[in-house]
Each structure stands twice: as structure tokens, then as C-alpha cells.
Amino acid sequence: MSQPNTPEENSGAPREPRLQPRPLDRPAVDPGQAATFGRPHGVDGAFDKLYSPGKRNGEQIITKPPAPESLAEAFGRPPGAENVRLQRPGDDTGQRAADGPESPLWAKSADPWRDPGAAAVLGGPALEAEDEEKDGDERPKGPLLSLPELLFGRRVKPVALGLLGVVCLLIGAVGGLVGWWIASTGNSLTGSATISEAEAGKERAPGSIADIAKRVSPAVLSIEVTSGESGSVGSGVMIDPNGYAITNNHVVSLATDDPQAKITAVFSDGTRTGAKVVGTDPTTDLAVIKVGVANPTVIQIGRSADLEPGDSVIAIGSPLGLQNTVTSGIVSALHRPITAQSENGGPPITYDAIQTDAPINHGNSGGALVDSTGALIGINSAIRTGTTDSDQGGSIGIGFAIPADDAVKIARTLISNGQVKHADIGINAASVAADTSEGAQVVNVADGGPAAKAGIAEGDVITKVGDRMVRNAAELTVAVRAHNIGEVVPVQLVRQGRPLVVDVTLGSD
């Protein structure tokens, strides 16, 4: 068939010459590559003409081993059905109709997304149903289980089942009657009651007395000292993780006098352990013991110098042997000089005390006086009573504690040296008049002592030591002890109505 003419041919325009194919530029083949990748000798075409499918070197190639006989019998075609294909819908023979290709969708109800080229689809069973199912015959139904058979696994007579029900009803009725009789014949004053209960309000915010007591109590001890048939009870405070506790000297004085005495420390959780005296300071009524316990709870040390009258304080100890007793109050006064007689007739006890109205009784001695943060600011030591018999008197709201600044300083010295020395001026003094604040009058002067060397004479009235006013003899002692041994301190005094100031180099007691 001839091709139609183009517009150029029809118009008679001259035809341009067509470009011929460019010659192929075939570079020379590398002999080494030709020897490696070239055709073997005697082969001209792209494939070996001597190759025939299914054979290797003239032998038949077995592509796969024959199926096991058991699998072939289970999944193979039945005898006589070697040429039968899978059954198609609406075709009982499995043969494709001869009048044309089969429709990709064999029925209107077939899946339209089915691959038309698939060999088979899921259909009904290939085998015909049983003859009895074709005929519509139903299998015979067995007898249904009765209630006795379902409950007891065997047949039970209806009479026996009825008797069992009657017995159950009788038992329930008898139980109900017995309960009604017990409830009706009981005491009219006793019985059940519905009591409305409400959770009590607990004001335990951080910093409350309950919170402070919970944190501090594990560090406060109850100290029991026994010697034969005698004994005493006091308190103590753990101040060091190595087991050192601070207390009053009069609490453990029985143990210092009797080497056979036994000291027992009792913690707030009931733990009891032995203790030994490390050192004592009778002049300030302080002592240090070491408790045989590992990793104890220790108290936080505060600064008593930061206190002001009116600050809240809490006393924790064992008054009258009642362990873990907590009382609260305020700081009533500061720098209150206290003098008391020693236990064994030694020098009088004098210290610069914190006065508090927190209830303190016998047994609180050596316990903790803490501030509103739970820090130790004093060691409870003495009380003022309203009777001359101090053993029978109780708290009247005037208690005294050794300031923590002084107590901890003395305790550290006792732990390191076993004893402590205080600054001394070398005189005996007395108050100018009873219950007055006019100063401390010199009674006698120790020969060669610091006062004698400074020129202080008997009869002089000392009114000031350093920066502290002296109102009585007790305050003279605490004013001197506030300085270090060997320190030069100006002392203001009155001699025959004339004020004088002398410099005294303090010695040691």
C-alpha cells in the first residue's frame, strides 16, 4: 500500500537530502578481556547450539525430586481424573465450554475484583453430599438432659429432689428463727449503733510542734544510772554520729563516784544500750557520755546567741521518768546567772542560763531545749520551785537551760581532753546586798593570783568586766568565764566610793 503524499510532495517543493546513519565507532577489543569474556571456541552465536533444554551432557535433568508416596496419595488426583481440571462454578465436569473462552466473571454474584486470570476460585465442595442429605433425611435426635441429670450427672427420682428442696427450706427457716430470737431476747442497752465519725483536724504543718517533736525526739535520750539499790534518771542529747551525747553532770554523778555504777541509754523507739562517761565539768554542770550505738540520729546545733526574749522554745526529755515528754513555751529571759550547790560538796555550779517558762521537772535535766526550727539552743538544767524542798517542788514556770553555744564548746573540749579549764580572776566575791544589783564585793584575794597582780583589794566592788555589767557575785563568775585564759580584760570597780579601772590578765581555775 502506498503512503499518502506529504504536503511538501503535493506542493512540488524540492526534497531535502536525508541524513544517513553514522558509522559505528567500535574501538578495538582488549585481547585480555576478549579471552576472559569472549565466546568459547567453536561458538558463533549468542547461545550454545549444542544445548538442548532438559539435558546436561546428554543426560536427563531432574528439576525436583518426586513427591513422597504418602503426600501423593493424600493430595494427588484420584484414579481416572488425571485430565480433569478444577471445578468451575456452574460446571460439574471442570471442562471449559467449547463454544468460546470462559467469562472472567462466571456469575453475577462473583467478586468483581477477582483476577480473571486466576486458575480457580473458592466454591462449593468438589464432592457430592451424602445420599441421605440429598434426600433431605434428618439425623435422629437424642433425648434431652433433664435437670437431675444436669445437676447430679445421673437420674434422680422427682420425689427425692423434692425432699431435698424441703430440707433446704427447713434449714433456712430454723436459722432465721434462731437469729430473730437472739436479737429479740438480748439486752436492750446493748446492740449495734451507727456512730457518725469525722476525721479529726490535724494541724501538722511543717514547723509545728508535732513536726519538730517527731524530728528531734530520736536524738533525745533517757539516761538511767543504777548503783546497787540506788539510781537516778535524767536526759541527754546526741550531738555526734560517733555516739557522743551531752547531759548534766548531776545526772551521771553517781556513776563518776562509783566505778561499778551502770549507765543505760534508752532511745525514743525503746532501744536500750550501755554508755560510759567521757568527761565531766562540775563547775558548769555538764558531762559527756558515749553511747554504744552505731549511726545514731543526732540533733542539729543552733545558736543561742541569736535568741531574743519571747522566742518560742520546746523542751524534750524524761521528767519524772516519763520518756519522750514534750512541753513548749517561750524564752523568758537571757543571760540569767544561776548558782547552785554541787552534788559532792565541790565548788558551786555557776552558768549563764536561758530562762524559759516551758514546763521543766526533775528528769528533764540534760534534755534538749530547741527553737522553732528544731535546732538545739540549750541544755535543760535547773528549775526554780516555790518550796524550800527542791526534791518535792514542781515546775512553776521558771526553768533554766545552759546555752548551746557554751555547752557545745565545753563538750568538744571534754571529748578531746576529758576535762575543761575556765578563766579565773583569783578572788572570792559576794553580792553587795541580798537580792540587789549593785555589784560583786571582793571578800578575799588569792595570793599571787590575777586579781592580786592587778592591784584588786578586799572590799572593792566590781561593777563591770569587759563589756558586761556585773550586778552580783554569780554574774562576776560568768562574766570572767566568757573570756579566754590569758586574755587581758579591763575590770571596772569602786574603791571607797571612787571608780577605778584595772587591767587583769585572766588565769585558769
How many separate helices (H) and strands (E) can be counted in the chain?
A: 11, 22
CATH number at residue 478: 2.30.42.10
Q: Which residue has the cell 434462731?
A: 178
* Residue where a domain stops, chosen among 417, 438, 464: 417
Instruction: Look at residue 94 in the predicted model and tell me its pLDDT.
Output: 47
In a domain, 349, yes or no: yes
Instruction: Look at residue 346 in the predicted model and tell me its pLDDT.
Output: 72
| Same domain assignment for residues 406 and 471 | no
Q: Which residue has the cell 565548788?
A: 347
| Same domain assignment for residues 310 and 363 | yes
Q: Is 362 a catalytic residue?
A: no
| Same domain assignment for residues 251 and 283 | yes
| Same domain assignment for residues 282 and 323 | no
Q: Which residue has the cell 539499790?
A: 229
| Same domain assignment for residues 358 and 258 | no
* Residue where a domain stops, chosen among 384, 417, 450: 417
Out of 222, 232, 235, 250, the active site residue is: 250
Write the single-letter amino acid at 462: I
Instruction: Look at residue 259 in the predicted model and tell me its pLDDT.
Output: 85
In a domain, 139, yes or no: no
What's the number of CA atoms in the CB half-sphere (13 Å) around residue 287?
Answer: 29
Which alpha helices (DSSP H) does 305-403 contain, by range? none
With beta carbons less than 8 A apart as the criterion, state whether 397 and 236 touch: no
For 216, phi then psi, to 5°, come to: -90, -35
Out of 235, 365, 381, 431, the active site residue is: 365
Domain that holds residue 275: 209-291
In a domain, 371, yes or no: yes
What residues contact residue 126 under an 8 Å CB cut-off, 6+ apart?
A: 87
| Same domain assignment for residues 287 and 263 | yes
| Same domain assignment for residues 404 and 430 | no
Residues of the chain with pLDDT under 70: 1-16, 43-63, 81-140, 142-157, 186-203, 344-345, 386-393, 433-437
With beta carbons less than 8 A apart as the criterion, state whether 401 and 380 touch: yes
In a domain, 202, yes or no: no
Out of 217, 222, 253, 285, the active site residue is: 285
| Same domain assignment for residues 308 and 413 | yes
In a domain, 190, yes or no: no
Q: Which of 231, 256, 247, 257 is nearest to 284 (CA)?
A: 247
In a domain, 493, yes or no: yes
Instruction: Look at residue 1 in the predicted model and tell me its pLDDT.
Output: 46
When divided into structural domains, the chain yields a total of 3
Q: Which residue has the cell 540569767?
A: 336
CA distance 452 to 457: 7
CA distance 128 to 232: 110
Instruction: Look at residue 229 in the predicted model and tell me its pLDDT.
Output: 83
| Same domain assignment for residues 410 and 430 | no
CATH number at residue 395: 2.40.10.10
In a domain, 152, yes or no: no
* Residue where a domain stops, chosen among 417, 437, 466: 417
Q: Is 365 a catalytic residue?
A: yes
| Beta strand pairing call for 461-465 and 498-505 | unpaired
Q: Helix, strand, or coil here: 37?
A: helix
| Same domain assignment for residues 321 and 409 | yes
Q: Is 250 a catalytic residue?
A: yes
Q: Which of 281, 283, 177, 288 is nearest to 223 (CA)?
A: 288
CA distance 423 to 205: 45
| Same domain assignment for residues 366 and 465 | no
Q: What is the dihedral of CA 253, 287, 329, 319, to 10 degrees?
A: -30
In a domain, 134, yes or no: no
| Same domain assignment for residues 314 and 401 | yes
